[in-house]
Chain A
């Protein structure tokens, strides 16, 4: 029994080593944070439009349909990375995307959409970044999945891509669709 005490350091050390190895093996990035807003209603917002042709975004616009809300900015490099993919979703009608233009100059944002294309149903301008803070955004691009009741169901940090969409977002959309249909 007394000798078991001498095994203590070994057991403790090995446990620690497992905790060191886990995040590396799983490829976890410690910088990615889970959202505190999951299962919560979307915060109040009323954003002015970016383009003359499309209205801005308020709560009403975001309730009633399963949809993506994408925070983007023309000055953000990774946003450019995901833009092609957003264009494909926009064209394919899988799920509508609402854009929130985060702390951007109107001119620059307009030119950006003109150059790269506009995948969004509606675009609202978050000039001072307060709406983003209400959503718990900590760095653009971030993409939120909203259900029909206007609750946040999923949040992705960083640029979207086909593989991430298929792995992470599509399954949630399918479950949500089933729930409302069945």
Chain B
């Protein structure tokens, strides 16, 4: 009964979305306020209807209602509650419901908080947002309905893939979707602006928080996915340049570019058509990710339930929306007014370089990911584009970007003084050299790549810290004055400083891990010892135990350093009988400077077990760096001027009040 209610709610949501697409758009064209006013309650109603559908599906999962096909195929009565809930989006149909739920949530948020949006813009944004909803609700109802029944119902379900029964992966998809779908907001604003034929700083002030929110969620989502791959797959690696990973990374890169170009629109009313284009392309890349994962046109280790027919449908949605938006772009963008003037050496110029390099980075990943498809279609030849390619091409694009990241924020708007900025960079140079020399001293007999990597990270950290210190006049003014300046500093400034520092920390982790990771593979019987990177590991014993829905072998491994006890870790090997699938649960001992990563392989008491140990230096810095970026984004998001619903006038006043401070 509840499943049918969910099904009905979905149909209702589709109808509401249809109304929300058409009526406000027509109203905006006719300048009819009552018709435009339909958008707001419709967005609310659509969100409620989809929330009911999502709730109904969740209910079916939690109560293990195996008469629903989707539940029978993806759940099991013995599964822990958390994974019953996360199982809702652990499959294609359920994940699409989550997708439209988030889509409607964003629409709802605009309807609720967008009180001060110009009414025609608001109506058009909500209309475009609803039209995306129409397409995906139609897609769900036609090809991927999760509420279909199974008669007779099986006694128990087929269970969720055990690799997905993991806390990291339970929250990875919702975060990722918040990011992907969040960019739909930027898209809707872009298309609405194209319909209106007008883009101004107020528009950018509206787009920025949504883009930032999506960016924060996507960063968190990718980080969670990478973290999951790291501890769950048992290979010790954290990024594989797999097409599915790349599919999430491309919108991140272009979304980062969008975040920066929107600043130029907001502050200087320039780069408008480029920003519109970026907003369209970022959402296009998000949709493309959805397409690639589900269509099976590329081979990936993470292939979702591959279904070419569904793939074609998503492709049709992609073509309709992105193609349509790009046609409007081609028609409207040429006549857009040019904004504020600036010199090539200026904050604006720096942000243009930032956008250029991020676009090239996106293009590198794009070409590398899709080249096998392209070559096969044109010549019939097969080619593999793997991590060695991306390491060779992506990193060189990042180096100038990081170099620029320290300089850019020091340039003034309109007309920057490069030599003045350079003279302020002495701290970056000093830190860069200090760290570089320190690393060289530690590892003088090895290749220079990590030295360069660390020097870059030092450069970025130095530049970022110096810029922040100058802003609050640290060491120049009295401390109390600096502190009061720091208090008055807008939160977006803190956000930027943190995000850039986060990247610097991330670079340290990534460079150290790729250069100095050590791995030991041994066959160990109980009491056997081995050593990795100065640590001694002893396999104490291996126990056979029972989990809630799996059997397991759990090893006890004692880690010592110089004969002194450090810790005890418990790597597991699980076997899930329903899916007939073994998994390994690595045990990780994390310190500030490194992970000791222990994974238990196959084996028996007589033969001994395969034991793999990694010493992964600075790998916690990768997650820490990403986390700092996320927090930086959140702080920036809480900025008064960006806060959702902060009225335009107030924001305007605020800019006047301490405009010079911010723009310095």
Q: Which residues of B contact A33 (CB under 8 A)?
A: 382
**Bound complex: CA of A13 vs CA of B372, how far in Å?**
17
Q: Which residues of A contact B291 (CB under 8 A)?
A: 20
Tell yes or no: A114 within 8 A of B by CB: no
Chain B's interface: helix, strand, loop or mixed, by majority? Answer: helix
Q: Which residues of A contact B311 (CB under 8 A)?
A: 24
Are B299 and A10 neighbours in the complex by a CB distance under 8 Å?
Answer: no
Tell yes or no: B334 within 8 A of A by CB: yes
One of A1-9, A64-72, A172-180 contacting the partner: A1-9
Tell yes or no: B148 within 8 A of A by CB: no
One of B316-324, B476-484, B515-523 contacting the partner: B316-324
In the complex, chain B residues 298-339 whose Cβ is within 8 Å of any chain A Cβ: 298-299, 308, 311-312, 315, 318-319, 322-323, 326-327, 329-330, 333-334
Number of residue pairs spanning A and B whose beta carbons lie under 8 angstroms apart = 69
- Measured CB to CB, the nearest residue on chain A to B373 is A19
CB distance from B91 to the nearest CB of A (A): 21
Tell yes or no: B558 within 8 A of A by CB: no
**Bound complex: CA of A33 vs CA of B381, how far in Å?**
9
Give the B interface residue count (CB, 8 A): 34
- Measured CB to CB, the nearest residue on chain A to B291 is A20
Q: Which residues of A contact B277 (CB under 8 A)?
A: 9
Are B315 and A21 neighbours in the complex by a CB distance under 8 Å?
Answer: yes
**Bound complex: CA of A35 vs CA of B299, how far in Å?**
18
**Bound complex: CA of A10 vs CA of B291, how far in Å?**
19
Q: Which residues of B contact A23 (CB under 8 A)?
A: 297, 373, 376-377
Are B284 and A13 neighbours in the complex by a CB distance under 8 Å?
Answer: yes
Tell yes or no: B281 within 8 A of A by CB: yes
Tell yes or no: A182 within 8 A of B by CB: no
In the complex, chain B residues 262-282 whose Cβ is within 8 Å of any chain A Cβ: 273, 277, 280-281
In the complex, chain A residues 50-85 whose Cβ is within 8 Å of any chain B Cβ: none
Tell yes or no: B370 within 8 A of A by CB: yes
Q: Which residues of A contact B370 (CB under 8 A)?
A: 16, 19
**Bound complex: CA of A53 vs CA of B584, how far in Å?**
47
Pick from A2, A6, A20, A31: contact of B315, CB below 8 A: A20
Contacts A9-B277, A13-B326, A17-B323 given: A31-B299 contact, CB under 8 Å?
Answer: yes
Can you list, as one digit per residue, whether each of A96-133 has a CB less than 8 Å from chain B (1) or not (0)?
Answer: 00000000000000000000000000000000000000
**Bound complex: CA of A6 vs CA of B326, how far in Å?**
9
Are B329 and A17 neighbours in the complex by a CB distance under 8 Å?
Answer: no
Contacts A6-B330, A23-B297 given: A28-B319 contact, CB under 8 Å?
Answer: no
**Bound complex: CA of A56 vs CA of B126, how far in Å?**
73
Are B334 and A3 neighbours in the complex by a CB distance under 8 Å?
Answer: yes
In the complex, chain B residues 589-613 whose Cβ is within 8 Å of any chain A Cβ: none
Are B312 and A28 neighbours in the complex by a CB distance under 8 Å?
Answer: no
Are A9 and B315 neighbours in the complex by a CB distance under 8 Å?
Answer: no
- Measured CB to CB, the nearest residue on chain A to B277 is A9
Are A17 and B315 neighbours in the complex by a CB distance under 8 Å?
Answer: yes
Q: Which residues of B contact A21 (CB under 8 A)?
A: 312, 315
- Measured CB to CB, the nearest residue on chain A to B312 is A24
Tell yes or no: B296 within 8 A of A by CB: yes
CB distance from A41 to the nearest CB of B (A): 22
Tell yes or no: B548 within 8 A of A by CB: no
**Bound complex: CA of A24 vs CA of B308, how far in Å?**
6
Are B297 and A10 neighbours in the complex by a CB distance under 8 Å?
Answer: no
Are B297 and A24 neighbours in the complex by a CB distance under 8 Å?
Answer: yes
Are A24 and B315 neighbours in the complex by a CB distance under 8 Å?
Answer: yes
- Measured CB to CB, the nearest residue on chain B to A34 is B382
In the complex, chain B residues 360-412 whose Cβ is within 8 Å of any chain A Cβ: 370, 372-374, 376-377, 380-382
Residue among A20, A23, A28 having the largest count of chain B Cβ atoms under 10 Å: A20
Pick from A10, A14, A19, A20: contact of B329, CB below 8 A: A10
Q: Which residues of B contact A13 (CB under 8 A)?
A: 284, 322-323, 326
Are A30 and B299 neighbours in the complex by a CB distance under 8 Å?
Answer: yes
Are B376 and A28 neighbours in the complex by a CB distance under 8 Å?
Answer: yes
- Measured CB to CB, the nearest residue on chain A to B380 is A34
Q: Which residues of A contact B219 (CB under 8 A)?
A: none
Q: Which residues of A contact B334 (CB under 8 A)?
A: 2-3, 6
- Measured CB to CB, the nearest residue on chain B to A12 is B326
Tell yes or no: B286 within 8 A of A by CB: no
Can you list, as one digit per residue, whether each of A127-170 has a CB less than 8 Å from chain B (1) or not (0)?
Answer: 00000000000000000000000000000000000000000000
Pick from A6, A24, A31: contact of B333, CB below 8 A: A6
Q: Which residues of B contact A24 (CB under 8 A)?
A: 295, 297, 308, 311-312, 315
Q: Which residues of B contact A2 (CB under 8 A)?
A: 334
CB distance from A24 to the nearest CB of B (A): 5
**Bound complex: CA of A25 vs CA of B316, how far in Å?**
13
- Measured CB to CB, the nearest residue on chain B to A3 is B334
Pick from B323, B326, B373, B381: contact of A20, CB below 8 A: B373
- Measured CB to CB, the nearest residue on chain B to A2 is B334
Are A27 and B308 neighbours in the complex by a CB distance under 8 Å?
Answer: yes
Q: Which residues of A contact B382 (CB under 8 A)?
A: 33-34
Residue ranges of B at the interface with A (Cβ–Cβ < 8 Å) = 273, 277, 280-281, 284, 291, 295-299, 308, 311-312, 315, 318-319, 322-323, 326-327, 329-330, 333-334, 370, 372-374, 376-377, 380-382
- What are some 17 contacts across the A-B interface (CB < 8 A)? A2-B334, A6-B273, A6-B329, A10-B326, A14-B319, A17-B318, A20-B291, A20-B295, A20-B297, A20-B315, A21-B315, A23-B297, A24-B311, A24-B312, A24-B315, A30-B298, A31-B299
Closest 5 CB pairs of A and B: A10-B326, A6-B330, A3-B334, A24-B308, A7-B330
11 additional A-B pairs beyond A10-B326, A20-B315, A24-B312, beta carbons within 8 Å, are: A9-B329, A10-B330, A13-B284, A13-B323, A13-B326, A14-B319, A14-B323, A20-B295, A20-B373, A21-B312, A24-B315
